[in-house]
Structure 1
């Protein structure tokens, strides 16, 4: 063999080796993304591997992306697995000779039978007389049609005036005695049409802090309870939308990121029954509608995460309700009170804007500063009674500075201030229903009063609280609330105390006491209609409780309470109103709750309460209209099959007191005509029949790769029990008939999430 031939062979072998080495040094790579099935949320930490060869594996990044190296071109079957998700269906990917394959998307379906554990810091560490529950838990309660605020009365110690009102009465106080906060700032009205449905998109409600009594100095102008709602943050992974259609309304939610550290959502809703009903029609004998009741609401939120320690939130919200009814002479209400004949129009609404700056100033110092503006508009024309026009502008400022002063002391300094300007244009009879009169006023006997005025007021509230861990297992919560406002020109200083003791790891004992006050309702203090010389209504709260965490996500909670009410506003001539009433409320509550760990969850709540009012002028004592001694709720939810849920809620409550008609007399109305008027018995001397109702719910969720579709069917009052809300008397009061609440109603809803 020649030397040249040998050289050529050596060169050929070397070049072949080099090509082989080069090929081995240039592996092929598959790229793709793993998402949660149904909502396209990128999944972090998912193992992606080649089926049959676990050595070829990659793990997804926080954005769901993965890069998987394979040795050569060809077909590869990809699989993926993650804790809490079912194994993905295998995807076959072909890598061509040139190394191209295109991105692959893999979708993993959540395993809903697993317990969902969400760890969040408590917004307020105080535990006395407090219930914390998520919006998701409440939205699935049967009979609520997915509205979490309507489900509040399934918790212990909370009731309402009836099926068509969700406005809560808490521990012997009325709905008007509560204070409502949303995302740290005071809220406008929370319910449409007097309580039928809340003003919030149900998907936005993250959780509730409900303080039934004995709450800390952070809250002002309230003698009842606190309902503190937190709306969730917008999603930050991608742009998304949700559409919901129910029997009453339709709503739309759009949300997503604007930049890496900015996100938003916008939600809107409108009822649509008025759009499909005839423009006019009959609702009952002598009751016609000219504008079927309608409502709308909207919410918006923008969050800018300025830095790791600072965030800015901008919020907007609003709602409106409108209706127009006609009462004819055939209506029993007109036979009793002729001035009610005619058109009854109502249009109410509010629009609010707010901002919240949250700052972590240092490792021991945090601050929350919020400000808000709210415009309210009320326009009502109740037949021949006259009209009411009220426009209000309210500006509110709230700041909480929290300092970890020492290892044992956490201090809170709070400042709250505001100013309001309300324009009144009133021409209406001044008689208003009152607990202290019993029965309904006869407006045909009352003359109309004309008032045009502008009322301005300013207020400042200060709060100081110290959470002092004076023992390893005991914390004393000591604080005081100070206030001043310009309408009454009065100062208030109110001490408040709480005690938390954990004798065992899973056992919590609590106790609380505090003094509280509340500004009277607006119509009670304006001149001519009310009494500008009134003072605040007052309350003393006492509570004790024990909570025990048990195994397998069970917990038991028992609480007892007592309220002493004083300086309550009562009707009195010639002043119109005076601070001449008092009252008491006391009771026991129990809550047994199971979180979802084995496919089902639910709770049993029971409360026994007695609440009375006393007229300090006449000496008359009577049960409060919300005095329903025994209330029991049973709530159950079961994931009985993949993506199927069954729920049931049964509620029992003692009948509410009412004042019966025991006779009649004849009087002369303002036009000089004789009018038969009722004579009432003792206030609250009779009771309605006991109430009980069973609601069930079936829900189904269909998970598609890039979106999900959900259905639910709520069956309200499944055994069609006639729950009586009152009695309607005939024209001469000689007989009465039952007025019943919601009958058997199947209600459905459908939601698409994209």
Structure 2
């Protein structure tokens, strides 16, 4: 009897262990165009030959799946077949996801494709790229930063390895549309050095994304040519979807690395509501010490919570809140004897003290009106606060430029101060209706903006960098005198912005889709009305080959900081661009495609600064840009993915001041990116990325010595003789990443190492002139390593 009891007990343990090593996959399949449930769709797990079909609510569930990573195929009559890679099944838990299917707009369906959000959508026929959550995570050198992950796409350039902001097709970092869960945001980065560049905006953008790793669930990026639904920015369109909470089971994960820690909680809080929350804190003290950089303190945090509630069969409500504080500073106490102010990244003799934060809260209600239409209503509040204080110290130096005594000549903590506080309350209502061969999208946006801005110079200052054409009372005076009256600005006002738009997607034939649209905008601070007609289309040559095109007018609102710096009688206009794109795509297989596009842009009414040290701007600028992009993309399927891209680009500007055309700061003639990721088994993932680009434009100049005619107070001056007349050295970087995961009964343990620029080539982003020595300090980045562990329960 005892023998049988032991046998039964052992069998029960075996069964329990077997049951505990399995999980489930549950989700809802909906149409992308109408958000209606797809009934009878087939969900099939390729690796283990398990599957299920959706019910009348579009719900499916597959149970008893052994823990591991799987590829899933989703198909339904009348829809494009969709593949999902890296569905992670965890012991005792349910993986939940809401999945959208695109309507199959053609009868030429011999090839199914690896469909991601927004790709192969007739409404977005040109330059559309998507990233899944797993692809963002695997992107080497990005360290989970979505903005850095985008830098490998064709036509996209970054400001160098130390920046995460992107510039697209001959325009700047401030000219991209950013949407987070359909909420417009103008800045997605930390550490944007407003005021550091002679007191004005830094064109390079921010250094790090405000989103922690694994927060963004899906990405859609369109490199120009976007439809009339989106506006007020003219360069590119980036839509980020924050992960929804798992409606079935809870999970808790933590990542701990060289820069700090990230905690994520994900799960249901009621039968109808789920929550996803993350908290990240980063501090660069350890990394600065490791890289032996100039001493300073840099820290920031990112805190996010999102709830999703299925109110009933027709209404789904999500709420999102974000708080993103940052605190970098460098004081006189950080300055040490022996530091050479000519060294790379020395910062010269600048002191800074910055406090800032971004806040967002929004509600998004999606309502299914009937079987062919739905409406989205979005209500949001966002704010941004910046309090920047810049100072200067005047050390004694030896003959090589090394600091003997940082406090020798005194120091000032608040020579310049900038306060830039923005608040915006907005409402968006977007209606979509599908007819037989036509899809209609129409909507309105309304925003009330408050801008409280102040820029102060505490005393008359001497500026030792100037252009040959800048006014100087005496041509032999090789410097400029900046008085508070020329620099100071105060602005505190409200303005209303309103928009209306309509866009059509007309399936003229099974092979040809045409997308006309028009957008109207009213910009309160400019008191300007604009109308933007746009047109795009897609022609299927056969089941593998297609042509696409887009053209239209795009307007760019003036930057708030620029508006605030003008006198009451100088009202800036919106900048205008006219864009044209022609492209060709071949789908080699379900997960491999090649895209080639040529594009052209014409600019007018550009805001230009006649004197770079004064706040006065006008709209006398014009310009043009043109280029071509080639891209071969292998989407994530089975165990590897990658891309190869090449971009050619020229971008010229003219301030119409008699000096003629010059290279725009983001005019990069040649860019090459190669990236790949390989997963040999369930434990290891290896990724690599190589990037090359032509060096960025920089000014041609001459240096004048002893410009104060005082050998006891030696100062040098830099006179710019040609704007962006030279180029910095080419950018070359090789990034490597390795991830190792060990599944455990309680969850998963992972370790990773991510190395940016493993060869330690110092990639120069810009040059900083040092008036104390007459030398140049290069601003850039060599190797940038991080490593850490991740635990998921």
Q: TM-score range by the shorter chain?
A: 0.7 to 0.9
1:682 is aligned to 2:722: yes
**Cα distance, 1:595 vs. partner?**
2.5
- Could you tell which deviates more after superposition, 150-159 or 613-622? 613-622
1:593-742 equivalence runs, <5 A? 593-664=633-704, 676-729=716-769, 731=771, 735-736=775-776, 738-742=778-782
Q: Which residue in the other structure is 1:67 paired with? A: none
Distance in 1 between residues matched to 2:126 and 2:287, nearest whole Å:
48
Are residues 282 and 84 of structure 1, via their aligned partners in 2, closer, same or farther at CA, if it must alter by over 3 Å?
closer
Distance in 1 between residues matched to 2:770 and 2:694, nearest whole Å:
26
**Cα distance, 1:467 vs. partner?**
0.8
Q: Which residue in the other structure is 2:550 paired with? A: 512
1:224 is aligned to 2:266: no
Deviations 1:401-458 (A, max 9, x none): 0012x3111111110110011223432389999x996999999731225444411100
**CA RMSD after TM alignment:** 3.7
Q: Which residue in the other structure is 1:447 paired with? A: 483
**Cα distance, 1:596 vs. partner?**
3.7
Are residues 133 and 414 of structure 1, via their aligned partners in 2, closer, same or farther at CA, if it must alter by over 3 Å?
same
Distance in 1 between residues matched to 2:494 and 2:461, nearest whole Å:
24
Are residues 440 and 268 of structure 1, via their aligned partners in 2, closer, same or farther at CA, if it must alter by over 3 Å?
farther
1:53-452 equivalence runs, <5 A? 84-85=47-48, 108-110=66-68, 117=84, 120-121=100-101, 122=117, 125-187=123-185, 189-194=187-192, 195-274=206-285, 288-289=295-296, 292-326=297-331, 343-383=351-391, 384-404=414-434, 406-428=435-457, 445-448=481-484, 449-452=487-490
**Cα distance, 1:342 vs. partner?**
6.7
**Cα distance, 1:661 vs. partner?**
2.6
> Which secondary structure state, in structure 2, belongs to the residue aligned with residue 151 of structure 1?
helix
Distance in 2 between residues matched to 1:412 and 1:256, nearest whole Å:
33
TM-score calculated relative to the size of structure 1 = 0.80
Deviations 1:577-614 (A, max 9, x none): 11011111111111111124453221101111111111
Kept in 1, the 8 Å contact 2:545–2:585? The answer is yes
Q: Which residue in the other structure is 2:625 paired with? A: 585
Deviations 1:91-123 (A, max 9, x none): xxxxxxxxxxxxxx9872325589963663355
> Which secondary structure state, in structure 2, belongs to the residue aligned with residue 136 of structure 1?
helix
Are residues 472 and 711 of structure 1, via their aligned partners in 2, closer, same or farther at CA, if it must alter by over 3 Å?
same
**Cα distance, 1:737 vs. partner?**
6.0
Distance in 1 between residues matched to 2:236 and 2:749, nearest whole Å:
37
Distance in 1 between residues matched to 2:230 and 2:761, nearest whole Å:
40
Q: Which residue in the other structure is 2:31 paired with? A: none
Are residues 86 and 740 of structure 1, via their aligned partners in 2, closer, same or farther at CA, if it must alter by over 3 Å?
same
**Cα distance, 1:249 vs. partner?**
2.2
Kept in 2, the 8 Å contact 1:571–1:577? The answer is yes
Are residues 418 and 502 of structure 1, via their aligned partners in 2, closer, same or farther at CA, if it must alter by over 3 Å?
same
> Which secondary structure state, in structure 2, belongs to the residue aligned with residue 504 of structure 1?
coil
> Which secondary structure state, in structure 1, belongs to the residue aligned with residue 151 of structure 2?
helix
Are residues 538 and 33 of structure 1, via their aligned partners in 2, closer, same or farther at CA, if it must alter by over 3 Å?
farther
**Cα distance, 1:711 vs. partner?**
1.4
Kept in 2, the 8 Å contact 1:439–1:659? The answer is no
Are residues 717 and 191 of structure 1, via their aligned partners in 2, closer, same or farther at CA, if it must alter by over 3 Å?
same
**Cα distance, 1:333 vs. partner?**
7.1
Are residues 263 and 538 of structure 1, via their aligned partners in 2, closer, same or farther at CA, if it must alter by over 3 Å?
same
**Cα distance, 1:640 vs. partner?**
2.3
**Cα distance, 1:186 vs. partner?**
0.9
Kept in 2, the 8 Å contact 1:112–1:643? The answer is no
**Cα distance, 1:321 vs. partner?**
1.1
Kept in 1, the 8 Å contact 2:342–2:776? The answer is no
TM-score calculated relative to the size of structure 2 = 0.76
Deviations 1:549-569 (A, max 9, x none): 112622111111111111111
Are residues 747 and 543 of structure 1, via their aligned partners in 2, closer, same or farther at CA, if it must alter by over 3 Å?
same
> Which secondary structure state, in structure 1, belongs to the residue aligned with residue 326 of structure 2?
strand
Q: Which residue in the other structure is 2:106 paired with? A: none
Uncovered stretches (5+) of structure 2, i.e. residues with no partner: 1-11, 28-43, 51-62, 74-82, 86-98, 102-116, 193-205, 392-413, 472-477
Distance in 2 between residues matched to 1:440 and 1:185, nearest whole Å:
42
**Cα distance, 1:531 vs. partner?**
6.7
Are residues 204 and 438 of structure 1, via their aligned partners in 2, closer, same or farther at CA, if it must alter by over 3 Å?
farther
> Which secondary structure state, in structure 2, belongs to the residue aligned with residue 139 of structure 1?
helix
Distance in 2 between residues matched to 1:582 and 1:348, nearest whole Å:
34
Deviations 1:327-381 (A, max 9, x none): 669888799xxx9857410111111110000011011211011010012211111
1:501 is aligned to 2:539: yes
Q: Which has the larger radius of gyration?
A: 1
Distance in 2 between residues matched to 1:386 and 1:735, nearest whole Å:
24
> Which secondary structure state, in structure 1, belongs to the residue aligned with residue 247 of structure 2?
coil
Distance in 2 between residues matched to 1:704 and 1:283, nearest whole Å:
39
- Could you tell which deviates more after superposition, 299-308 or 574-583? 574-583
Q: Which residue in the other structure is 1:471 paired with? A: 509
Are residues 232 and 703 of structure 1, via their aligned partners in 2, closer, same or farther at CA, if it must alter by over 3 Å?
same
Are residues 372 and 510 of structure 1, via their aligned partners in 2, closer, same or farther at CA, if it must alter by over 3 Å?
same
Distance in 2 between residues matched to 1:563 and 1:549, nearest whole Å:
28
**Cα distance, 1:199 vs. partner?**
1.0
Distance in 2 between residues matched to 1:587 and 1:36, nearest whole Å:
56
1:542 is aligned to 2:580: yes
Deviations 1:531-555 (A, max 9, x none): 7422111111110111111126221
**Cα distance, 1:145 vs. partner?**
1.8
Distance in 2 between residues matched to 1:256 and 1:748, nearest whole Å:
28
Q: 1:555 aligns with which of 593, 600, 615?
A: 593
**Cα distance, 1:34 vs. partner?**
7.3
Distance in 1 between residues matched to 2:466 and 2:552, nearest whole Å:
26
> Which secondary structure state, in structure 1, belongs to the residue aligned with residue 149 of structure 2?
helix
Kept in 2, the 8 Å contact 1:84–1:111? The answer is no
> Which secondary structure state, in structure 2, belongs to the residue aligned with residue 660 of structure 1?
strand
Distance in 2 between residues matched to 1:567 and 1:431, nearest whole Å:
31
- Could you tell which deviates more after superposition, 517-526 or 105-114? 105-114
Deviations 1:658-684 (A, max 9, x none): 113313266669xxx995321122111
Q: 2:525 aligns with which of 487, 495, 499?
A: 487
The alignment covers a number of residue pairs equal to 658
Deviations 1:12-34 (A, max 9, x none): xxxxxxxxxxxxxxxx9x99797
Q: Which residue in the other structure is 2:786 paired with? A: 747
> Which secondary structure state, in structure 1, belongs to the residue aligned with residue 622 of structure 2?
strand
Are residues 471 and 277 of structure 1, via their aligned partners in 2, closer, same or farther at CA, if it must alter by over 3 Å?
closer
Q: Which residue in the other structure is 1:25 paired with? A: none
Deviations 1:634-657 (A, max 9, x none): 111111234211111111111111
Distance in 2 between residues matched to 1:694 and 1:334, nearest whole Å:
27
Are residues 255 and 454 of structure 1, via their aligned partners in 2, closer, same or farther at CA, if it must alter by over 3 Å?
same
